[in-house]
Amino acid sequence: MAKLTIITINYNNALGLERTLLSVREQELEHVEYVIIDGGSKDNSVSFIEANSDIIDFWVSEPDKGVYDAMNKGIKKANGEYILFLNSGDHFYNNSSLQEHLAHMADEDIICFNINTIHDEVTKIKEHPEQMTFDYLFNDTLAHQSTLIKRALFKKVGHYDTSLKIVADWKFFVDAIVKHGATYKSVPSILTTYYLDGMSATAKGTNIRKSERRNVLKMEYPFLNDDYKELQLLKSNRFKILKILEKSAVGRKLNSLWLRVLLFLMKGKSVNNID
**Which residues on adjacent β-strands are paired with residue 124?**
117
Q: Tell me the average pLDDT of the chain.
A: 85
Please determine, for residue 77, whether its predicted confidence score (pLDDT) is greater than 90.
Answer: yes
User: 168-203: string of b/e by CB count within 10 Å (b at 16+)?
Assistant: bbbbbbbbbbbeeebebbbbeebbbbbbeebebeee
Q: What is the pTM of this model?
A: 0.81
Cα end-to-end distance, the chain, whole Å: 60
The Cα–Cα gap between 244 and 241 comes to 5
CA distance 5 to 84: 6
What's the CA dihedral at 135, 136, 137, 138 to 10 degrees?
Answer: 50
- Of 169, 148, 167, which Cα lies nearest the Cα of 158? 169
CB atoms closer than 10 angstroms to residue 100: 17
Query: Coil, strand or helix: which one is 83?
Result: strand
Cβ–Cβ < 8 Å for 8, 88: yes
**248-258: average pLDDT:** 59
pLDDT band at 80 (very low <50, low <70, confident <90, very high): very high
Query: pLDDT at residue 232 above 90?
Result: no
pLDDT tens figures, 165-197: 999 999 999 999 999 999 999 999 999 999 987
pLDDT at residue 264, rounded to an integer: 60
Per-residue pLDDT at 17 exceeds 60: yes
